[in-house]
C-alpha cells in the first residue's frame, strides 16, 4: 500500500481552528460514552427491565464502538478521513435521536449501538492532523485529540448529573444529538479533506471476521460477572473468539490490502505501544468507577463521603481537565525527550496517584487531589500513544493503525469495567438487600490499577529507539564514495532492490513528511543507490516505485544529530502496467 499525497486537495489550507474542531469531535464522543453514568443505578426502573438486561444499554455501545473503530479508520484511509468522520458523527446523532424518543429497552439498545459508531472519530481526527498539520503543531495537536476522551468524560459527568437530577433522562440524548450536529457543521466548515489515500479496496470479509472476533471476546468480558466466569457460556465465547481471531489473522496475512496490516502491527514499536495502551485504558477506567461511588456513599457507612451526584461529578471533573492541560506540556517534553520517555513518565505519575490514593480516601478534597494527579499521568500517557503509532507506520496506514490503538484502549476499559465490577460486587456488604461497596473493595481496585500500570511500564520499556533496522549495504567502494559525497548530509541513503535482490535503476524515491507532503525526491543510480536529505529531524515515509515493480514505502526516523541513516527499499515483483517514472 502506498499513500498518494497532494499539497492542497481541497483548495484550502488548514485554519487555526482545525485542532479545536477535531478535539471537540473527540469530546462529543466522550460525552456520548459517559451520558448514562449518573443514571446507571436507575436504568432498570427507567426502562422497566431486569437489571441484567438494562446493562445492555451500556454494553451495546461498547461493542459497536470496538467494532467501528478499526473499520472507520481503514475506510478513512481509503476514501477520506473527513468524510468518514462526518459519517461517524451522523450515525451517532441518529442513534441519540432514536434513544431520545423511547423508553423501550430493545429500541434503546438499537439507539445506543448506533451511538457507538462515534468512537471512530478519535483515530480519524488523529489521522487528519497528521495529514494536514505542519510538524511543529503536530505533537500538541495529537496530544489534545488523544486526551479528548478524558476531557469530555470529565466535563460531561457533572453536566449529565445536573441534567439527570432536574429533568427527564431523555434530555441527555437530545443534548448529545445537538452536540453531534454542531460538531458535524464545524467539521464541514473548518476541516479540509485529507490529501492522503491508501491504495486498495475495503476488506469486507476481514471487517466481518474482526467484528465477530471482537464481539465474541468483549461480550463475556462485559457480561462474565452476570453469567459466571467459569460458566460454559463465558468460556465457550472466549474459545470461539480465539478461534475466529486466529482464522481472521491467517486470512489477513494473505491479502495485499488487509483491513489491519498485521505485519506492521507486529513491529515492536506498534506492538508494545498497543499492549501499553490496554494497561493505560485499565488504569483510566478504575478511577472513573471508584471515585464517584466513594463520594456518593452515605457517611453512615463509616467511609462514604456523602456527596450529591452533582458535587461528586464536579470533584471528579479535574481528571479530564488536567488531561487537557497536559497536552502542551506533553508537546514540549516529547520534542526534547521523545514520546517513549513521556509515556514512561505518565505511567510513573499514574502509579504515584494510585499509590497515594490508597491512603487518601477519607475526605472529599483528597479525591480531588487523586483526580488531578491521575489526570496528569493519564494525559501524558494518552498523548504519547498516537505519536508512537504515527512514527512507526506509513502515512497511508495512519487511520487504521490509530483505530487499532484506540481499540486497544477500549479493550482496556472493558476489562477494567468487568474486573472492578466483579471485585466491588464480591467485597460488597448486604445492607437491607442492597449491595454496598466496601472500602476494602475500593483499595483492591486501586491495587489492580497499580498492577496494570506496572505491566504498562514494562511494555513501554521494551519500546525500541528510532528504527534503524539492519539493511543490505553497498560495496565498500560505493560506500566510500557515498561517505565522501554525503559527509555532511542528514537524511537517508541506501539501495532500491527488486524482489530477487538485484539493484533497480531509475526508481523514483520520494520522501514524505508527517503531514503527508513531499519533502524530497530523487532517482536511484545504476547500482540502485539513492540519497535523500531531510529538512529536519522527525518521522518520515520513504516511498519507491519503478516500472515493472510494485510500489513500496517504509517508515523511517531521523534523529537530526547524526549522518545519513541506511535504509534499503525492496520492491515487490508485481508489474505496474503503464507506470512511468520521471524526475
Strands 491-497 and 565-566, bridge-based pairing: parallel
Residue 574 binned pLDDT confidence (cut-offs 50, 70, 90): low
Most confident among 274-278, 330-334, 501-505, 535-539 (mean pLDDT)? 274-278
Mean pLDDT of 500-506: 82
The domain boundary residue, chosen from 254, 273, 292: 254
Q: Is the pLDDT score of 103 beyond 80?
A: yes
| DSSP conformation class of 502 | -
Handedness of CA 381, 385, 386, 391 (dihedral sign): positive
Q: Is the pLDDT score of 259 beyond 60?
A: yes
Q: What is the pLDDT of residues 49-59, one digit of tens each?
A: 776 677 778 77
- Kindly state whether residues 405 and 313 are assigned to the same domain: yes
Q: What angle do CA 316, 320, 322 make, to 5 degrees?
A: 105
CA 133/CA 152 separation, integer angstroms: 23
Question: Quick check: is 539 in a domain?
Answer: yes
Question: Quick check: is 545 in a domain?
Answer: yes
Domain containing 306 — which CATH number? 1.20.1250.20
- Kindly state whether residues 243 and 340 are assigned to the same domain: no
The model carries a pTM of: 0.65
Question: Quick check: is 470 in a domain?
Answer: no
The domain boundary residue, chosen from 220, 254, 288: 254
Question: Quick check: is 582 in a domain?
Answer: no
Question: Quick check: is 158 in a domain?
Answer: yes
Question: Quick check: is 6 in a domain?
Answer: no
How many domains does the chain divide into?
3
Q: What angle do CA 14, 15, 20 make, to 5 degrees?
A: 105
Domain containing 518 — which CATH number? 2.60.40.1120
CA 388/CA 380 separation, integer angstroms: 13
Task: Show the 3-state SS of 134-168.
Answer: CHHHHHHHHHHHHHHHHHHHHHHHHHHHHHHHHCC
User: For the ranges 76-80, 230-234, 475-479, which has the lowest average pLDDT?
Assistant: 475-479
Question: Quick check: is 471 in a domain?
Answer: no
Q: Is the pLDDT score of 85 beyond 90?
A: yes
- Kindly state whether residues 196 and 228 are assigned to the same domain: no
Residue 562 binned pLDDT confidence (cut-offs 50, 70, 90): low
Mean pLDDT of 410-429: 77
Strands 538-545 and 508-512, bridge-based pairing: antiparallel
Question: Quick check: is 164 in a domain?
Answer: yes
Strands 491-497 and 569-570, bridge-based pairing: parallel
Domain of residue 504, residue span: 476-570
- Kindly state whether residues 384 and 522 are assigned to the same domain: no
- Kindly state whether residues 193 and 87 are assigned to the same domain: yes
What pLDDT is stored for residue 513 in this prediction? 79
- Kindly state whether residues 154 and 219 are assigned to the same domain: no
- Kindly state whether residues 297 and 429 are assigned to the same domain: yes
- Kindly state whether residues 425 and 483 are assigned to the same domain: no
- Kindly state whether residues 224 and 324 are assigned to the same domain: no
Q: State the chain's maximal CA–CA distance in angstroms.
A: 86
- Kindly state whether residues 503 and 392 are assigned to the same domain: no
| DSSP conformation class of 559 | -
Is residue 209 a contact partner of residue 25, using CB atoms and an 8 Å limit? no
Q: Is the pLDDT score of 447 beyond 70?
A: yes
What pLDDT is stored for residue 467 in this prediction? 39
CA 438/CA 297 separation, integer angstroms: 10
- Per cent of the chain over pLDDT 90 is 12
Handedness of CA 348, 33, 89, 394 (dihedral sign): positive
- Kindly state whether residues 163 and 286 are assigned to the same domain: yes
Residue 466 binned pLDDT confidence (cut-offs 50, 70, 90): very low
The domain boundary residue, chosen from 461, 487, 503: 461
- Kindly state whether residues 286 and 372 are assigned to the same domain: yes
Amino acid at each position: 500500500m502506498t499513500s498518494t499525497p497532494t499539497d492542497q486537495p481541497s483548495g484550502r489550507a488548514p485554519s487555526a481552528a482545525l485542532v479545536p474542531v477535531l478535539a471537540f469531535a473527540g469530546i462529543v464522543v466522550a460525552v456520548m460514552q459517559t451520558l448514562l453514568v449518573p443514571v446507571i443505578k436507575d436504568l432498570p426502573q427507567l426502562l422497566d427491565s431486569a437489571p441484567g438486561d438494562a446493562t445492555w444499554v451500556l454494553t451495546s455501545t461498547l461493542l459497536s464502538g470496538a467494532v467501528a473503530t478499526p473499520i472507520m479508520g481503514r475506510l478513512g484511509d481509503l476514501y477520506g478521513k473527513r468524510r468518514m468522520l462526518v459519517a461517524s458523527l451522523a450515525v451517532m446523532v441518529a442513534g441519540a435521536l432514536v434513544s431520545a424518543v423511547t423508553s423501550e429497552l430493545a429500541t434503546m439498545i438499537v439507539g445506543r449501538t448506533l451511538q457507538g459508531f462515534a468512537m471512530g472519530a478519535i483515530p480519524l481526527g488523529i489521522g487528519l492532523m497528521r495529514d494536514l498539520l505542519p510538524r511543529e503543531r503536530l505533537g500538541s495537536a495529537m496530544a489534545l485529540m488523544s486526551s479528548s476522551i478524558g476531557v469530555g468524560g470529565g466535563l460531561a459527568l457533572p453536566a449529565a448529573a445536573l441534567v439527570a437530577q432536574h429533568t427527564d433522562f431523555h434530555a441527555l440524548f437530545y443534548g448529545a444529538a445537538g452536540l453531534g450536529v454542531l460538531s458535524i457543521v464545524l467539521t464541514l466548515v473548518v476541516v479540509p479533506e485529507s490529501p492522503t489515500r491508501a491504495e486498495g479496496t475495503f476488506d469486507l470479509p476481514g471487517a466481518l471476521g474482526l467484528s465477530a472476533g471482537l464481539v465474541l471476546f468483549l461480550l463475556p468480558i462485559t457480561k462474565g460477572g452476570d453469567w459466571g466466569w467459569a460458566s460454559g457460556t463465558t468460556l465457550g465465547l472466549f474459545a470461539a473468539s480465539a478461534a475466529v481471531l486466529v482464522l481472521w489473522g491467517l486470512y489477513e496475512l494473505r491479502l495485499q490490502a488487509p483491513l489491519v496490516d498485521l505485519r506492521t502491527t507486529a513491529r515492536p514499536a506498534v506492538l508494545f505501544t498497543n499492549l501499553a495502551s490496554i494497561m493505560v485504558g485499565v488504569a483510566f477506567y478504575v478511577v472513573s468507577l471508584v471515585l464517584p461511588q466513594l463520594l456518593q456513599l452515605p457517611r453512615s457507612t463509616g467511609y462514604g463521603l456523602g456527596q450529591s451526584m452533582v458535587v461528586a461529578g464536579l470533584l471528579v471533573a479535574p481528571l479530564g481537565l488536567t488531561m487537557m492541560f497536559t497536552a502542551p506540556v506533553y508537546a514540549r517534553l516529547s520534542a526534547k525527550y521523545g514520546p517513549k520517555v513521556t509515556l514512561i513518565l505518565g505511567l510513573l505519575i499514574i502509579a504515584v496517584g494510585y499509590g497515594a490514593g490508597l491512603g487518601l480516601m477519607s475526605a472529599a478534597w483528597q479525591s480531588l487531589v487523586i483526580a488531578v494527579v491521575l489526570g496528569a499521568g493519564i494525559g501524558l500517557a494518552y498523548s504519547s500513544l498516537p505519536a508512537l503509532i504515527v512514527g512507526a507506520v506509513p502515512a497511508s496506514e495512519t487511520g487504521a493503525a490509530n483505530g487499532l490503538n484506540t481499540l486497544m484502549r477500549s479493550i482496556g476499559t472493558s476489562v477494567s469495567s468487568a474486573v472492578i465490577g466483579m471485585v466491588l460486587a464480591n467485597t460488597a456488604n448486604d445492607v437491607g438487600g442492597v449491595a454496598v461497596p466496601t472500602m476494602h473493595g475500593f483499595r483492591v481496585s486501586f491495587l489492580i490499577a497499580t498492577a496494570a500500570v506496572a505491566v504498562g511500564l514494562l511494555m513501554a520499556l521494551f519500546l525500541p529507539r528510532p528504527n534503524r533496522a539492519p539493511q543490505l549495504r553497498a560495496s565498500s567502494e560505493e560506500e566510500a564514495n557515498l561517505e565522501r559525497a554525503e559527509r555532511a548530509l542528514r537524511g537517508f541513503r541506501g539501495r532500491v532492490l527488486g524482489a530477487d535482490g538485484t539493484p533497480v535503476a531509475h526508481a523514483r524515491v520520494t520522501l514524505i513528511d508527517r503531514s503527508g507532503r513531499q519533502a524530497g525526491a530523487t532517482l536511484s543510480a545504476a547500482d540502485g543507490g539513492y540519497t535523500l536529505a531531510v529538512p529536519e529531524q522527525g518521522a518520515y515515509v520513504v516511498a519507491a516505485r519503478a516500472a515493472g515493480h510494485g510500489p513500496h514505502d517504509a517508515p523511517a526516523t531521523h534523529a537530526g544529530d547524526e549522518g545519513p541513516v541506511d535504509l534499503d527499499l525492496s520492491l515487490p515483483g508485481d508489474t505496474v502496467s503503464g507506470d512511468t517514472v520521471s524526475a
